[in-house]
Amino acid sequence: MCQTRQPERCIKKSSKLIGLIIPDLNNPFYSQIVTSVENKLRPLKYQLIMIFDTGGDDARYKESVDTLIQNNIDGIISSAFEADLSAYTETPIVLFDSGHVNDSLTRIASDNYRGGELAAMALVSSGAKKIIIQHGPLSLPPIRERLEGILHYLNQSQVVYELQSVRDFTLVTAKEETPKLFKDFSDFDGVLAANDMYALEIMRKAQQAHLSVPGDLQIIGYDNSIFSQMSQPTITTIDQQADLIGKSAAETLLKKDQ
- pLDDT tens digit sequence for 189-212: 999 999 999 999 999 999 999 999
Distance CA 112, CA 129 (A): 23
Measured at the alpha carbon of residue 138, what is the angle toward residues 136 and 139, in degrees to the nearest 5? 120
Burial label, 69 (beta-carbon count in 10 A; 0-12, 13-18, 19+): middle
pTM, whole model, 2 decimals?
A: 0.87
- pLDDT tens digit sequence for 167-184: 999 999 999 999 999 999
- pLDDT tens digit sequence for 33-81: 999 999 999 999 999 999 887 777 778 888 889 899 998 899 999 988 7
CB 143 within 8 A of CB 135: yes
- pLDDT tens digit sequence for 105-114: 889 988 999 9
In this prediction, what percent of the chain has a pLDDT beyond 70? 95
CB 181 within 8 A of CB 209: no
